[in-house]
Structure 1
Amino acid sequence: MSKMKNMRTALLFLLVTMISLSISAQNVTVKGTVKDKTGETVIGASVVQKGNTGNGTITDIDGNFTLSVPGNATLVISYVGMTTQEVALKGKTQINVVLEDDAQALEEVVVIGYGTAKKKDLTGAVSTVKGADLAKVPVTNAAEALTGKLAGVQITTTDGSPDAEMIIKVRGGGSITGDSSPLYIVDGFPVSSISDIAPTDIEDITVLKDAASTAIYGSQGANGVILITTKGAKGGKTTVSYNGYVQGKTIRKTLDVMNPYQFVMYNYERQALRGASAIRGFEERYGAYGDLDLYKYQQGHNWQEEMFDNSDLSQSHNISITGGSEKTKFTLSGTYANDNSLMENNGYRRYNMNFKLKHELYKNLSLDFGARLADTETKGVGTGGGSYKIRSYDALMKAPVNGLYDQIDIDPSTLPEEEYEEYVNATRSLKDQVNDYWRRKNERRYNFNAAINWNITKNFTYRAEGGYDYTFFQQKDWYGPRSSKAVQDGQGLPMGEWEKKDSWKLRAAHTLTWKQKFNKIHDVNIMVGQEYVASNSESNEIIGKFFQEDITPEKMFASMAANSGATGSRTISSQLGQEDRTISFFGRANYSLLDKYLLTFTIRADGSSKFTKGNRWGYFPAAALAWRVIEEPFMEPAKEFMSNLKLRLSYGTAGNNRIGNSLYETSYKAYSGGKYYGAGEEQNPHYTLNNDQLANPDLKWETTITRNVGLDFGFFNERLTGSIDYYWNTVKDLLIEQSITAIGYKTMQQNIGQTSNRGVELSLNAAILQKKDYSLNFNFNIGFNKNKVDKLANGISSMSYNSGAFSSDMRGRDDYRVIVGEPLGIVWGFVYDGIYGVDDFVTYTDDNGKTQFQFDKSGNYILKEGVTDNTYTTASSYGGLRPGAMKLKDQDGDGKITEKGDRVIIGRTQPKFTGGFGLSGNYKWFDISANFNFVVGNDVYNMDKMVSSQSYRNSYANLRAEMAPVTLGGRAWTYLDQSNGTIITDYETLKAMNANASYWSATTMSDNNPVPTSWAVEDGSFLRLQNLTVGFTLPKDWTRKFACNQLRLYCTLNNLFCITGYDGYDPEVNSAIRNSKTSGVTPGADYSAYPKSFSWTAGVNITF
Structure 2
Amino acid sequence: MLKNSKGDCSPHPNVKYFYELINEAYGSILKKGFIKLCLTSILLTIAFLQSSLAVNGQQVTLNKKNATLLTIFNTIKQQTGYDFVYKNDVLEKSKPVDLTVSNVTLIKALDLCFADQPITYTIKNKTIIVQMKESIVPAYKIQELIISGTVRDSSKVLAGVSIVLKGNTGIGTTTDANGKFQLKIPHDGILVFRYVGYKPQEIATNGKGAINVTMQSDEANLQEVVIVGFGQQRKENLTGSVSTVGPKELTNRPVSSVGNALQGTMAGVTVTAASSGQPGRDAATIRVRGIGTINNASAMVVVDGMVSSMNNVNPDDIESISVLKDAASAAIYGSRAANGVILITTKKGKAGKTQLTYNNYLGKQSATGLFDFLPSWQAADLYNQALSNEGRQPRYTQEEIDKFRDGSDPYNYPNTDWLDLAYKGNGFQQNHYLGVNGGNDKSSYMMSLGYYDQNGLIKKTNAKRYTSRLNLQTKINDKLSAHGNLAYTFSPMEEPQSSMPDVPGFTQVIRQINRIAPMIAYKYENGEYGSISDGNPMAWLESPSFNRENYYDFVGNVGADWEIIKGLHFKPTLGFVTSTAQNKTFIADIQYYNAAGDKAFYQGPNKLTDKNTTFRRTTLQGLLDYTRNFGNHNFKLLGGYFQELTQYTENSAYRQGFLNNELSEINLGSTDGQVATGYGYEMGLRSYFGRLNYDYEGKYLFEANLRYDATSRFAPDNRWGAFPSFSAGWNLSKEEFFKPLKEIIPALKVRGSWGKLGNQEVGSYYPYITTISAEQNYTFGGTSSIIAAGVAPTKGANKDIQWESTTTYGAGIDASFLQNKLDLTVDWFNRKTNDMLLDVPVSAVYGLTPPIQNAGAVENKGWEFVLSYKDRKGDFSYNGSFNISFIDNKVTDLHGTGRQLANTTFRDVGYPINSLYGFIAEGIFQSQEEVKNHAVQSNRTAPGDLKYKDLDGNNVIDSDDKQYLGNFYPKSTFGLTLGGSYKNFDLTLFFQGAASVKTYLEGKLGGVSDGAGKPTSALLDSWTPDNPRASLPRILYSQTQNSGIDSPSSFWVKDGSYIRLKNLQVGYNFTNLAKKLGVSRARIYYSGQNILTLSGLYDWIDPEAPYSSGIYYYPQVKLHTIGLNVTF
| Residues 100 and 16 (structure 1), Cα distance of their counterparts in 2 relative to 1, 3 Å cut | closer
The alignment status of 1:1044 with 2:1095, answered yes or no, reads no
Q: Find the residue that maps to 2:672 and give its secondary structure.
A: coil
Which of 368, 375, 381 does residue 483 from structure 2 map onto?
368
CA contact (8 A) 1:1022 1:1067 kept: no
Structure 1 match to 2:503:
386
| Residues 600 and 381 (structure 1), Cα distance of their counterparts in 2 relative to 1, 3 Å cut | farther
Q: Find the residue that maps to 2:1036 and give its secondary structure.
A: helix
Structure 2 match to 1:18:
94
Amino acid at match of 1:99: T
CA contact (8 A) 1:739 1:747 kept: yes
CA contact (8 A) 1:106 1:120 kept: no
CA contact (8 A) 1:712 1:723 kept: yes
| Residues 740 and 482 (structure 1), Cα distance of their counterparts in 2 relative to 1, 3 Å cut | farther
C-alpha distance in 2 between matches for 1:885 and 1:42: 65
CA contact (8 A) 2:841 2:897 kept: no
* Stretch deviating more after TM superposition (830-839 or 714-723): 830-839
Which of 535, 539, 545 does residue 432 from structure 1 map onto?
539
Which of 909, 921, 944 does residue 884 from structure 1 map onto?
944
Structure 2 match to 1:447:
555
How far 1:1013 sits from its partner (Å)?
2.7
Structure 1 match to 2:756:
653
CA contact (8 A) 1:753 1:790 kept: yes
C-alpha distance in 1 between matches for 2:748 and 2:646: 44
Q: Find the residue that maps to 2:1013 and give its secondary structure.
A: coil
Q: RMSD of the alignment, in Å?
A: 3.6
C-alpha distance in 1 between matches for 2:1068 and 2:630: 52
Structure 2 match to 1:664:
768
| Residues 161 and 55 (structure 1), Cα distance of their counterparts in 2 relative to 1, 3 Å cut | closer
Q: Find the residue that maps to 2:377 and give its secondary structure.
A: helix
How far 1:442 sits from its partner (Å)?
1.8
Amino acid at match of 2:1036: T
C-alpha distance in 1 between matches for 2:1023 and 2:588: 39
Structure 1 match to 2:913:
824
CA contact (8 A) 1:255 1:1065 kept: yes
C-alpha distance in 2 between matches for 1:293 and 1:78: 73
Structure 1 match to 2:661:
551
C-alpha distance in 2 between matches for 1:650 and 1:400: 60
| Residues 290 and 271 (structure 1), Cα distance of their counterparts in 2 relative to 1, 3 Å cut | farther
Structure 2 match to 1:1079:
none
The alignment status of 1:316 with 2:431, answered yes or no, reads yes
Structure 1 match to 2:897:
796
C-alpha distance in 2 between matches for 1:995 and 1:962: 15
How far 1:92 sits from its partner (Å)?
5.8
Structure 1 match to 2:628:
516
Structure 2 match to 1:237:
353
C-alpha distance in 2 between matches for 1:329 and 1:1064: 52
Structure 1 match to 2:638:
527
How far 1:868 sits from its partner (Å)?
2.0
How far 1:912 sits from its partner (Å)?
2.3
CA contact (8 A) 2:546 2:585 kept: yes
Give the TM-score, by structure 2 length.
0.80
Structure 1 match to 2:1039:
1006
Q: Could you list the per-position Cα deviations for residues 274-333 of structure 1 after superposition, in whole angstroms to 9, with x for gaps in the alignment? A: 889x76x746xx955786775799994433333334224111111111122332211110
Q: Find the residue that maps to 1:747 and give its secondary structure.
A: coil
Structure 2 match to 1:959:
1015
The alignment status of 1:753 with 2:870, answered yes or no, reads no
CA contact (8 A) 2:379 2:1008 kept: no
| Residues 100 and 896 (structure 1), Cα distance of their counterparts in 2 relative to 1, 3 Å cut | same
How far 1:888 sits from its partner (Å)?
3.4
Which of 950, 956, 960 does residue 901 from structure 1 map onto?
960
Which of 145, 150, 155 does residue 266 from structure 2 map onto?
150
Which of 1112, 1118, 1123 does residue 1088 from structure 1 map onto?
1112
C-alpha distance in 2 between matches for 1:75 and 1:289: 83
Which of 698, 701, 708 does residue 800 from structure 2 map onto?
698
The alignment status of 1:939 with 2:998, answered yes or no, reads yes
The alignment status of 1:971 with 2:1083, answered yes or no, reads no
The alignment status of 1:591 with 2:626, answered yes or no, reads no
CA contact (8 A) 2:373 2:1016 kept: yes
Q: Could you list the per-position Cα deviations for residues 927-972 of structure 1 after superposition, in whole angstroms to 9, with x for gaps in the alignment? A: 11010011000111234236x2454xx64632122323xxxxx433
How far 1:473 sits from its partner (Å)?
1.4
CA contact (8 A) 1:157 1:1068 kept: no
How far 1:197 sits from its partner (Å)?
1.3
The alignment status of 1:621 with 2:724, answered yes or no, reads yes
Q: Find the residue that maps to 1:237 and give its secondary structure.
A: strand
How far 1:15 sits from its partner (Å)?
9.4
Q: Find the residue that maps to 2:960 and give its secondary structure.
A: helix
CA contact (8 A) 2:151 2:161 kept: no
| Residues 470 and 20 (structure 1), Cα distance of their counterparts in 2 relative to 1, 3 Å cut | same
Q: Could you list the per-position Cα deviations for residues 382-426 of structure 1 after superposition, in whole angstroms to 9, with x for gaps in the alignment? A: 9999324636564454323448x98x84698xxxxxxxx9x5449
Which of 727, 730, 754 does residue 832 from structure 2 map onto?
730
C-alpha distance in 1 between matches for 2:551 and 2:278: 17
The alignment status of 1:634 with 2:732, answered yes or no, reads no
C-alpha distance in 2 between matches for 1:172 and 1:120: 27
Alignment of structure 1 residues 73-112 onto 2, 5 Å:
76-87=192-203, 96-100=211-215, 102=217, 104=219, 106-112=222-228
C-alpha distance in 1 between matches for 2:432 and 2:914: 40
Q: Find the residue that maps to 1:573 and give its secondary structure.
A: strand
Give the TM-score, by structure 1 length.
0.81
Alignment of structure 1 residues 160-559 onto 2, 5 Å:
160-162=277-279, 163-176=281-294, 178-191=295-308, 193-270=309-386, 282=396, 288=400, 294=406, 300-381=415-496, 386-388=503-505, 390=508, 392=510, 394-402=512-520, 409=525, 423-425=530-532, 430-435=537-542, 437-482=545-590, 492-519=604-631, 521-548=632-659, 550-552=660-662, 555-556=663-664, 558=665
The alignment status of 1:869 with 2:937, answered yes or no, reads yes
Amino acid at match of 1:1101: N
How far 1:248 sits from its partner (Å)?
0.4
| Residues 779 and 800 (structure 1), Cα distance of their counterparts in 2 relative to 1, 3 Å cut | same
CA contact (8 A) 1:870 1:887 kept: no
Q: Could you list the per-position Cα deviations for residues 416-450 of structure 1 after superposition, in whole angstroms to 9, with x for gaps in the alignment? A: xxxxx9x5449986433434552112211111110
C-alpha distance in 2 between matches for 1:686 and 1:1102: 67
C-alpha distance in 1 between matches for 2:1015 and 2:1002: 14
C-alpha distance in 1 between matches for 2:1099 and 2:911: 26
How far 1:233 sits from its partner (Å)?
2.1
CA contact (8 A) 2:290 2:889 kept: yes
| Residues 998 and 775 (structure 1), Cα distance of their counterparts in 2 relative to 1, 3 Å cut | closer
CA contact (8 A) 1:764 1:780 kept: yes
Q: Please, which runs of 5 or more residues in structure 2 have no aligned partner?
A: 1-88, 98-118, 121-128, 132-139, 593-598, 781-787
| Residues 296 and 154 (structure 1), Cα distance of their counterparts in 2 relative to 1, 3 Å cut | farther
Percent of aligned pairs with the same residue? 26
How far 1:202 sits from its partner (Å)?
0.8
- Equivalent pairs, count: 969
Amino acid at match of 1:933: Q
How far 1:272 sits from its partner (Å)?
6.0
Amino acid at match of 1:1002: I
C-alpha distance in 2 between matches for 1:396 and 1:300: 15
CA contact (8 A) 2:385 2:1035 kept: no
C-alpha distance in 1 between matches for 2:535 and 2:373: 20
Structure 1 match to 2:103:
none
CA contact (8 A) 1:547 1:567 kept: no
Q: Could you list the per-position Cα deviations for residues 723-759 of structure 1 after superposition, in whole angstroms to 9, with x for gaps in the alignment? A: 1111111111111122333543233211112111111
CA contact (8 A) 2:655 2:671 kept: no
CA contact (8 A) 2:170 2:352 kept: no
| Residues 838 and 764 (structure 1), Cα distance of their counterparts in 2 relative to 1, 3 Å cut | closer
C-alpha distance in 1 between matches for 2:310 and 2:379: 46
| Residues 544 and 646 (structure 1), Cα distance of their counterparts in 2 relative to 1, 3 Å cut | same
C-alpha distance in 2 between matches for 1:1057 and 1:382: 32
C-alpha distance in 1 between matches for 2:620 and 2:848: 39
Q: Please, which runs of 5 or more residues in structure 1 have no aligned partner?
A: 1-12, 413-420, 678-684, 802-813, 842-862, 872-879, 965-969, 974-990, 1072-1082
